Amino acid sequence: MRFWVLFLIALTNLTTDCLAAARTQVDLVNLTPEIEPKKKILIGVRFRCDPSFHIYWKVPGDAGQPPSITWREKAGSSISDFLFPGPTLYNQKGIISFIHSEESLFLLEVTPPAEAKGVLNLKAKVEWLECNEAGCYPQEKEVALSLKIGEKNEALSFDSRKYPDLQSVLSAEIIDSTNQSESQNLVVSPPAPINPEERRTYSSIWFPERNFITASAVDQQSQQGFNKVFSLNDAPEKLEAGPLSFITQSSDGTFVRIVVKKTTIAPASASTKKPKESHSLTWQPWSLESQNRALNDGKIVYIDFTARWCATCQVNKRVYTQEDVQNALLTQSVVLLKADWTKKDAAIAAELKKYGRQGIPLNVFLKKDQAPVILSEVLTGSEVLQGLEAITTQKPHLLPTTNHSFFFWLSLAFLGGAILNLMPCVFPMIGIKVLSIAQQSRAEPSTVILLGLSYTAGVVVSFLGLAAIILGLKAGGSSIGWGFQMQSPGFVLGTSILMVTLGLSLLGLFEIGTSLAGKAGQVDQSQSLGGSFLSGVLATAVATPCTAPGLGAALGFALDENRSGSETFILFSVIGLGLASPYLLFSLFPQLARFLPAPGQWMIHLKRILALPLFAYAIYLLWVLNGLSEKSLNLTQVSVGFIFITSACWIWGRWTAPHYSTLTRWIAATFSVTIFVTSVYFLFASLT
């Protein structure tokens, strides 16, 4: 299940990060002809969406994300946040969103400095999410605008009626907020007009400026006499959590803000059943300054050390969606900080070292003048709650694996290595091993045993090599740990290419090794042993972004600075044995493999199905790659590179078959290898 969750995440992010050209034109425009120092002016970010595309309002609804702007150069000016135009409601198969389509202006108030003269040069990065019925695509663009002080500037005209921030604020009152038949409704009396007959002169849709009602409740709001009625069921935020205001249109088309007074909210009866509430947690980027500031304010701080390439970190995040965890963190006003180590930030690496860690995941509770509460690598909701209780009550928090014998750690390492086969990093390789076991099930027992031992040797030797590299670099002062190679864009790209190549082989575009139609007993033994050894090396390489239950603790113990080198090597060897154990078990007891069906047509179908996890993992790796550098591969580079890699594999599979002449096979092999190598070189050369 975790694999498919990560697959969907990876597929979405590949679509959005790599494979979408912008369908919205964005530029920075001036709206004020005369510009003077210290005098507020208006500029705007203009969005022009292609037909069928849209962007989102500041409260997006069920899905979406509003545009944002990050200033690169402000020329000493003070600049406001966006003044959003009024939105429209968009219903896509029951998903309710508040959007802008076609052309829209997001206003900005700019106050030039007192000493301003000459030209004001403004530069910024605009980020937005554009969507249509097929999907959503985050985009970004660098924009710039030059303004002349004291002279007439070219100014774009705009309709000020679209902007509630430029209108007078209206006032309304809550006249009822009670439960009716286990459903809580909010009844609002609209602004009192001068003429009572004008009470219905507002649009039928009122858009909340905060999530105190759901998007579906906005779509289903009703009229009760002169009053508006909204359902409060399943609202993400409480009414009391902030100001209440709506945006709607008056009869002349002007968007206005209606601020609702909360003084008349009726308290719910004690006997009334409260609806189930859900909350959203707010995360801030970690910095030593923000951490210390929160601690000095007497707050409890929770830090999630994470990275995009760390699959276990992504799986851990499921804990933060649990209602009891959310409620506990919100009740204690815990400051949530995310330390993103995707690009191996030196400050985060130094912070990890303070906790005796060389890698992630790491999750820790902090409070001033108290010892930190460090949680397990693989989180559970109960442990987060126990850790919070420990830091709140100043009681020690002991992990279940704190005091155990070395034999316990060996057992945990073996078990974690075995479970690693089911993790999303290793799972794509399972298909290849299943086919290999089925193919070899009718071979001589001695051959099967040798192949199993060869695969195991490849895994164990690779783990020992990893241990040696980690210990060597740590001795030289480097701060690295489990999965360190996933921080290398080159390694991630190479693994992605390998996954695609193996997937094309499983689809039948070409064959790696002997055809499945051949008999296992006729396979050249030296080639099979070498192939099994390399399979073990590959399984280890793709395993390192993941940890399994128990493995995280065992790795932490193995890489602890108090461990001797021999203990570390032993523990890594046992992890390798655990990873290789299922295949080794089938090899040592060939009769188990005989329960599999005889090699035949079913293997061809299974091959094609098992290509999908390999492609999914390649997509995930491209998503990881996108986060490892400021500028990674774009749509054109990915498309061109992988199209030519696929072409090279097809040429190899089509024209190097034994029934062709030696000259034909030689020419085809030369073309295939040349195209493949050139494509790989092109992709690597395109990396920043």
pLDDT tens column, 152-192: 788 899 999 999 999 888 877 776 555 433 447 888 887 76
pLDDT bin (cut points 50, 70, 90) of residue 648 is: very high
Long-range contacts of residues 523-532, Cβ cutoff 8 Å, at least 24 apart = 523/443, 525/447, 525/450, 528/447, 528/451, 528/454, 529/450, 529/451, 529/454, 530/454, 532/436, 532/451, 532/452, 532/454, 532/455, 532/458
Per the model's pLDDT, the better-predicted residue between 616 and 41 turns out to be 41
Helix extents (H) in 544-634:
551-558, 565-588, 590-593, 601-628
Q: Are 255 and 247 in contact (CB under 8 A)?
A: yes
The mean pLDDT value for 230-239 works out to 81
Per the model's pLDDT, the better-predicted residue between 156 and 409 turns out to be 156
The mean pLDDT value for 119-130 works out to 91
The mean pLDDT value for 520-538 works out to 60
Q: Give the Å distances, CA to CA, from 165 to 106, 107, 140, 162, 566.
A: 11, 10, 26, 9, 68
Q: Residue 515: what pLDDT? A: 36
Q: Which of 411, 452, 353, 455 is nearest to 570 (CA)?
A: 411
Q: Residue 18: what pLDDT? A: 43
Q: Residue 513: what pLDDT? A: 45
pLDDT bin (cut points 50, 70, 90) of residue 446 is: confident
Q: Residue 88: what pLDDT? A: 92
Token pair 């020419």 is found at: 667
Q: Residue 441: what pLDDT? A: 56
Helix extents (H) in 476-589:
489-506, 525-543, 551-558, 565-588
Express each pLDDT in 317-346 by its tens digit: 878 888 889 888 988 889 999 998 776 677
The mean pLDDT value for 625-646 works out to 75
Distance CA 378, CA 307 (A): 14
The mean pLDDT value for 545-571 works out to 67
Residues 6+ apart with CB under 8 A from 227: 175, 187, 188, 189, 190
675 pLDDT above the threshold of 90: yes
Distance CA 54, CA 129 (A): 8
Residue 346, both tokens = 């030196």
Distance CA 162, CA 253 (A): 8
521 — phi, psi (to 5°)? -70, -15
Lowest mean pLDDT segment, chosen from 57-71, 142-156, 552-566:
552-566
Q: Are 572 and 463 in contact (CB under 8 A)?
A: yes
Lowest mean pLDDT segment, chosen from 5-9, 151-155, 343-347, 623-627:
5-9
The mean pLDDT value for 31-54 works out to 92
Distance CA 68, CA 145 (A): 17
Express each pLDDT in 70-105 by its tens digit: 999 998 899 999 999 999 999 887 788 899 999 999
pLDDT bin (cut points 50, 70, 90) of residue 516 is: very low
The mean pLDDT value for 181-206 works out to 67
Lowest mean pLDDT segment, chosen from 28-37, 40-49, 328-337, 423-432:
423-432
Express each pLDDT in 463-490 by its tens digit: 888 778 777 766 655 545 556 666 677 7
Considering the chain, what percentage of its residues have pLDDT values greater than 70?
73
pLDDT bin (cut points 50, 70, 90) of residue 435 is: low
Lowest mean pLDDT segment, chosen from 6-15, 144-153, 537-546:
6-15
Q: Residue 182: what pLDDT? A: 42
255 — phi, psi (to 5°)? -80, 130
**β-sheet bridge partners, residue 130:** 137
Q: Give the Å distances, CA to CA, from 431 to 426, 436, 580, 606.
A: 10, 9, 14, 8
174 — phi, psi (to 5°)? -80, 125
Express each pLDDT in 239-270 by its tens digit: 777 788 899 988 788 998 988 876 544 443 33
Q: Residue 366: what pLDDT? A: 94
pLDDT bin (cut points 50, 70, 90) of residue 290 is: confident
Distance CA 221, CA 237 (A): 18
Distance CA 439, CA 437 (A): 5
Token pair 């299943």 is found at: 434
Q: Residue 398: what pLDDT? A: 59
Q: Give the Å distances, CA to CA, from 285 to 125, 216, 348, 510.
A: 19, 31, 11, 47
591 pLDDT above the threshold of 70: no
275 pLDDT above the threshold of 60: no
pLDDT bin (cut points 50, 70, 90) of residue 54 is: very high
Helix extents (H) in 394-426:
406-419
Residue 133, both tokens = 């019925």
Q: What would the 3-class secondary structure string for 241-294 be?
A: HCCEEEEEEECCCCEEEEEEECCCCCCCCCCCCCCCCCCCCCEEECCHHHHHHH
Distance CA 189, CA 261 (A): 10
Mean pLDDT, all residues of the chain: 77
558 pLDDT above the threshold of 50: yes
Q: Please give the helix or strand (H or E) that residue 46 lies within, else none.
A: strand 41-49
Q: Which of 647, 338, 629, 617 is nearest to 504 (CA)?
A: 647
